[in-house]
Chains A and B, each alone.
Chain A
Amino acid sequence: METIWYCFVAVMIAAYVVLDGFDMGAGIVHLFVARTEGERRAVLASIGPVWDGNEVWLLAGGGTLYFAFPGLYASSFSGFYLPLMIVLWLLILRGISIEFRNHIQSLVWQPLWDVVFAGASALLAIFFGAALGNVVRGVPLDRSGEFFLPLWTDFTAGKNTGILDWYTILIAVAALLTLAVHGSLWIALKTEGAVEVRARRFAKSV
């Protein structure tokens, strides 16, 4: 029964990464593939109807984890407290940058939120990649099943490691590139003209 729920949680996390991954990827690449106001609006419109629904898979995955593996939930959410808070803020920044940018027509306002959207999306991809790296590498759990990790120590992957070391940074960079390609393929699928061509070229070049 535990294995069945492990598969459910894995499927939900995979669904989240595939679905919100293209939203994040679109955010990462949109400054490069969309250069005019109209092109950027087209990129946002391509993810507009679905991005918040896609993020619900993260909540559903977290809720399922809480229900099925409370021991893991307690241990990891307290041990990864600092990066989880950073991820929460990045999710908030990404959401409000999509929603706020069109409220005021200004030469400063829209480019500002475009940069916030791109930066938050890229950092989210990096943090999720580093999280995967931490789960594969392991964490310094004690006998009570608890641990604490600083953001970084000496970047070696030994016993006194931090959340960021050479291995988790490698996975984080791979996650950033993977989601950038995923997002550009989504943009190529959903847009036309110059944006589609640039997105396709970006995906091929990476």
Chain B
Amino acid sequence: MVLITLASFRIQPHLQESFAARPWGYGFPLLAVVGLVGIRFLSGFRGGLEAFLCSCLFIVGMLTSAAFGTYPFVLPSNADPSLGLTVHDSAAPLYGLQVGLMWFIPGMLLACGYFVYTYRSFSGKVKLDGQGHY
């Protein structure tokens, strides 16, 4: 993780600028560190839900760190930084984005509800009874 962080800061100088400009963003890499420590200490215990959740936290921490560090770029340019695509110059018109919120938020609530229902339905250990597809 240290190697990746050092390499990323060397390859993409904008990361350093982002974290220096908004220090609260260090919370994202901190999530990854907490997740990594959690995996290390909790993966030996029976049950394993806590270790798995720490793994989720590590992945979320790493991805949000990358998203925070590259913002406002969505696709930086390594040839000329001024040519990089930002959230502002690659976004759809404002009206479309505002109307989009009207269907996106209820849609996501439905999807999240279905997600919770599915995972609750299939919670617990797997039992092979010879009847299922697998």
How far does the alpha carbon of A42 sit from the alpha carbon of B125 in the complex, in Å?
Answer: 10
A200 near B44 with CB under 8 A, answer: yes
A92 beta carbon closer than 8 Å to chain B: no
Closest beta carbon of chain A to B117's beta carbon, Å: 11
B12, B77, B91, B119: which contacts A71 (Cβ < 8 A)?
B91
Q: Which of A46-89 contact B (CB under 8 A)?
A: 46, 48-50, 53, 60, 64, 67-72, 75-76
**Closest residue of chain B to A173, judged by CB?**
B4
Interface of chain A, helix or strand or loop or mixed?
Answer: helix
Chain B, interface residues (CB within 8 Å), range: 35 or more
| Interface bits B2-28 vs A (CB < 8 Å: 1, else 0) | 011001100110010000000000000
Q: How far is it, in angstroms, between the C-alpha of A138 and the C-alpha of B80 when the chains are bound?
A: 10
Question: Contact partner of A70 among B76, B92, B126, CB < 8 A?
Answer: B92
Question: Which residues of A pack against B, CB within 8 Å?
Answer: 1-6, 8, 10, 13-14, 17-18, 21-22, 38, 41-42, 44-46, 48-50, 53, 60, 64, 67-72, 75-76, 102, 132, 135-143, 145, 157, 159, 161, 167, 170-171, 174, 178, 181-182, 185-186, 188-192, 196, 200, 203-204
